[in-house]
Amino acid sequence: MIGRMRKRTALLFAVLVALNALVLCAQLGAPNAAGVAIGHVHLTVHDIEAQRKLWLLLGATVAHAGPLELLRFPGVFVVLTQGETNQGSEGSTVNHFGFLVRNVDDVHKKLAAAGLPTVQELAAPKRWVTMFPDKIKVEFTEDTSLTVPVAGHHLHLSTTMAQMEPLRTWYVTHFGGLPETRRGFASAVFNGGEINIMQSAAADAPTRGRALDHIGFEVQGLDAFCKTLEQAGVKFEEPIRDVPGTGIRAAFIEDPVGTRIELTEGLIRAR
């Protein structure tokens, strides 16, 4: 009888571990064949608490990796750091980032009541674009079939026409994104998220030091992934390091047009 109880306990423990793993994986899109998933956007803001309230109003939940606080949405984390900058996302290589929402009118009403302006309203699909404090541009696209109220959707990069296809090819080659066209944009598609590339009249500024300082990808097997990048000639701004107290390992690179990118391993375990 004791043996049977032990077996049941062991089975229950295994089931709980498996369920916990599923919950963790549900935070971000599943890693693709290259082991990569869209991970986070990192914002440098004047007033963390004011920004935090808006993201919580939108539906974020709070997660922690040691002392690091993350605002979690299905498909993406938003990370806030306090700092001084007068340069927003527009004019940089990451013009904006975007979410899918079940009801765009509800989001519009909620965030407009909080003082956020209407930058643009579009149809087919129905979209609303606003500007968060610190000139951070965010787009909300309606998907009535969405099973959650809001989920991370896309990073919208900007570059000249001559660089559009080489930039997409870079994300396809090095990050395993699938080359597709989404809503008329050349895109690199990941499980549960996508990079869309839009044309700008002139080269845009690098993201480093702006309100949207960098984007992040969560990588399975970071050491091997970074070694492959190095062998392909990708230069590292910062090599792999342990982020103290967080259980996260991270490295920094830039894409060919100046988008700062953090590669992480362990961000998915934030609770």
122-180: per-residue pLDDT in tens? 999 999 999 999 999 999 999 999 999 999 999 999 999 999 999 999 999 999 999 99
Can you give the pLDDT at residue 107?
98
Residue 6, pLDDT > 70, answer: no
Reported as a pLDDT band with limits 50, 70 and 90, residue 86 is confident
Residue 16 inside a domain? The answer is: no
Provide the domain limits for residue 170: 25-269
Encode pLDDT of 51-82 as tens digits. Answer: 999 999 999 999 999 999 999 999 999 999 99
Q: Please give the Cα distance from 107 to 120 (Å, whole number).
A: 14
Residue 11 inside a domain? The answer is: no
Residue 7 inside a domain? The answer is: no
Residue 251, pLDDT > 80, answer: yes
Can you give the pLDDT at residue 17?
34
pLDDT > 70 in the chain, percent: 90
Can you give the pLDDT at residue 2?
43
Residue 67 inside a domain? The answer is: yes
Q: At what angle do helices 104-113 and 48-58 cross, to 10 degrees?
A: 150
Residue 171 inside a domain? The answer is: yes
Provide mean pLDDT across the span 203-229: 98
Residue 20, pLDDT > 70, answer: no
Domain of 42: which CATH number?
Answer: 3.10.180.10
Q: Residue 136 pairs with which residues in a beta bridge?
A: 132
Residue 268 CB-half CA count within 13 A:
23
Please give, one letter per residue, the 3-state secondary structure of 241-260: EEECCCCEEEEEEECCCCCE
Low-confidence winner among 10-19, 149-158, 197-206, 237-246 (lowest mean pLDDT): 10-19
Residue 13 inside a domain? The answer is: no
Residue for token pair 């993406």: 76
Residue 187 inside a domain? The answer is: yes
Residue 1 inside a domain? The answer is: no
Helix and strand numbers (H, E) in the chain are 5, 16
Reported as a pLDDT band with limits 50, 70 and 90, residue 27 is confident
Reported as a pLDDT band with limits 50, 70 and 90, residue 14 is very low
Reported as a pLDDT band with limits 50, 70 and 90, residue 33 is very high
Can you give the pLDDT at residue 68?
97
Q: What are phi and psi of 230, to 5 degrees?
A: -60, -45
Can you give the pLDDT at residue 7?
43
Reported as a pLDDT band with limits 50, 70 and 90, residue 47 is very high
Residue 19, pLDDT > 50, answer: no
Can you give the pLDDT at residue 15?
34
Q: Is the dihedral of CA 71, 77, 81, 84 positive or negative?
A: negative
User: 127 vs 4, 56, 100, 139, 142, CA distance in Å?
Assistant: 57, 20, 9, 7, 6
pLDDT, mean over the chain = 92
Q: Please give the Cα distance from 96 to 90 (Å, whole number).
A: 7
Total structural domains within the chain: 1
Residue 234, pLDDT > 60, answer: yes
**0.85 surpassed by pTM:** yes
Q: Please give the Cα distance from 205 to 226 (Å, whole number).
A: 25
